[in-house]
Structure formats: C-alpha cells, structure tokens
C-alpha cells in the first residue's frame, strides 16, 4: 500500500566544490521528492530505473532508508544516470548530465495510491515518458496529479518543443510547481504570474512558483498568495525545490486534499490554507539548504522548526 506514487529518474549527483574533493550524493528530482515524503512518514513508491552498479546501490539504499518502495527497471540491464553538480562560492548549483530515460512499462502499481507526482526529465523524455503517461491515464480516476518541470535546458532540446511537452503535462495535473528560473527559460521575458494564470486556464487547480530567497507564491482561480522564504545558513541549494514540493504534498495530504474525490476542495483551498502550506514547505527547504546535498528534514525536525 502506498498513498503516493512518484514517477521519474534517480540521479547520482557528483558534487564538485572549490577546494573540496568530489562527493557523490543520491539525487534526481523525483527521487528527492519520494525521499522527502518518506522522511515525513508518508507511504510512497518510486517508479524509476536504477542500475546495479555502485551508484545505483547507493541510491537504492538511500531511498529504502526512508521507507521508499522501488518499482520499475531495477538492477541488471538498467543504467543509473549521473550528474556533475558544480557549486560556486555561494553554494549555487549548475549541472552537467549523463541521463537516459528508457522506462519500459509501468507494470503492476501499488494499491491505495491517492496521488501521483511527476517530475523533471522522466516526465518529458522519450521513450520512458510514454510509460509515465500510461501511469497518469490509469490512475487519474482515483488520484490527484502534481508536476514539477524542474527544467534542465541541456536535456530538453529546442525550447519550443520543450514548452509543448511541459504544457501537455501541466494540462494533466491538478497541482504544478515551478521555479522562477524554470519559467524564465520556458517563457523568456514573461512575468511568472502571467505564466501561472495561463497554466491555470489549462486545468490545474493551483500553480506554485518559488522565487529563491524571495519566497514563493500560490496562484489559484481566487488569486495569489505569497509567502516569505525562511532565513538560515546555506551549505548548498541542491534539493531545495524538491524538499519544498514534498512538504507541500505532505501538507495537502494532512488536510485531506489529495485523491480524485478531493479535486474540488484542492482547487478551492483558501488563502490561509495556502499560506500555511507554503510556510511549511519553505521551512523544509531552509532545513535542506543548511546541509550538503539533497537531505530533507524528517518529520521530527520539521515539527521542531515549525514550533510544533
């Protein structure tokens, strides 16, 4: 039984920083979201591909340590994607990827799934993206869907084609989260609020945009809700957006707003509800950036930081 099904890539992040030896961390945006949900004590399954090499074993052990169940193309014959993550003097990350997404089939899915999360490369890269669409189509009648494009320009090809693929996934989703940097690449020169409203018109009940140190916003049919970032020390920014996403989903699950029957209520969530969800997510992101790698908080840490 899993309440959450996350679909997408695992990536071995080889983190490179000035004056330090390279360190390999488990990563990949969808894998980070699954791990974050597991750390928050949610029942979660990750549909992915993961090789039997040392990097794949490292990532698999990491995910299972948070209670994440793994499905998909695993072990012999699968390839573990890698990314060299180069940090500048302020901890900001740039990426050089070696990623192939060839997921062959969804296969039997866990019972009880109330929410499906799609992300990043796995949602838009063929041939594996066909299996992702199969999952969404099969579960749409009982599960809500979220999507984070987590744009990686080097892997997306021409911008016009990438925008079309992203917009197809947006239209399939009930909740979309993107960073201001994602939107700046997809729609150069357009204000994030304008893009969010266009996406809302295509189907989602809410679009969330993160602005780094300038906080975040939720856009719905009722308007815009802004939340400040939570200040703190920064070791690096790896996984901050994924931790934010996991904490938002955790907050919505705790309020009974996930699952197909909850679609109307999710779309009607009021300003106070979104403000609380965004603050919870910003707190989780602040805890994540305070330590190296995509290392989100567990439930005890998050509650302590929130003063609960």
Mean pLDDT by 10 residues, the chain (308 residues): 90 81 86 97 94 89 96 81 78 76 80 93 88 90 95 87 94 96 96 97 97 95 95 82 97 96 95 97 94 87 92
262, 222 in Cβ contact below 8 A?
no
Q: What is the pLDDT of residue 91?
A: 65
C-alpha 99: how far from chain center: 17
Edge-first strand order for the sheet with 23-27 is 23-27, 11-16, 82-87, 93-98
Torsion of CA 180, 183, 188, 193, to 10 degrees: -80
Residue (of 139, 174, 172) closest to 267 by Cα position: 174
120, 30 in Cβ contact below 8 A?
yes
pTM for the model stands at 0.92
244, 285 in Cβ contact below 8 A?
yes
**Helix H segments across the chain?**
29-39, 54-65, 120-124, 129-139, 153-156, 159-171, 180-186, 192-201, 240-254, 263-267, 271-289, 299-306
Q: What is the pLDDT of residue 233?
A: 85
Domains of the chain: 4-298 (3.40.1190.20)
């Amino acid at each position: 039984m899993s309440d959450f099904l996350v679909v997408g890539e695992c990536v071995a992040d080889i983190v490179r920083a000035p004056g330090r030896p390279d360190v390999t961390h488990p990563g990949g945006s969808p894998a980070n979201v699954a791990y974050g949900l597991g750390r928050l004590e949610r029942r979660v399954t990750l549909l992915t591909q993961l090789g039997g090499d040392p990097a794949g074993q490292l990532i698999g052990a990491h995910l299972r340590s948070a209670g994440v169940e793994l499905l998909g193309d695993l072990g012999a014959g699968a390839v573990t994607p890698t990314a060299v993550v180069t940090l500048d003097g302020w901890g900001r990350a740039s990426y050089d990827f070696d990623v192939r997404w060839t997921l062959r089939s969804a296969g039997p899915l866990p019972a009880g799934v109330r929410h499906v999360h799609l992300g990043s490369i796995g949602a838009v890269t063929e041939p594996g993206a066909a299996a992702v669409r199969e999952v969404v189509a099969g579960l749409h009648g009982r599960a809500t869907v979220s999507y984070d494009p987590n744009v990686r320009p080097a892997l997306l090809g021409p911008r016009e084609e990438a925008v079309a693929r992203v917009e197809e996934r947006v239209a399939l989703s009930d909740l979309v989260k993107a960073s201001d940097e994602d939107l700046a690449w997809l729609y150069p020169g357009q204000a994030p609020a304008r893009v969010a409203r266009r996406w809302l018109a295509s189907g989602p009940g809410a679009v969330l945009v993160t602005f780094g140190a300038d906080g975040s916003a939720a856009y719905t049919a009722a308007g815009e809700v802004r939340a400040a970032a939570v200040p703190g020390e920064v070791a690096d920014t790896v996984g901050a957006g994924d931790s934010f996403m996991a904490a938002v989903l955790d907050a919505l699950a705790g309020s009974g707003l996930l699952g197909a029957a909850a679609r109307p209520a999710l779309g009607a969530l009021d300003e106070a509800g979104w403000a609380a969800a965004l603050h919870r997510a910003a707190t989780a992101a602040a805890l994540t950036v305070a330590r190296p790698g995509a290392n989100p908080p567990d439930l005890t840490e998050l509650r302590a930081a929130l003063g609960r």
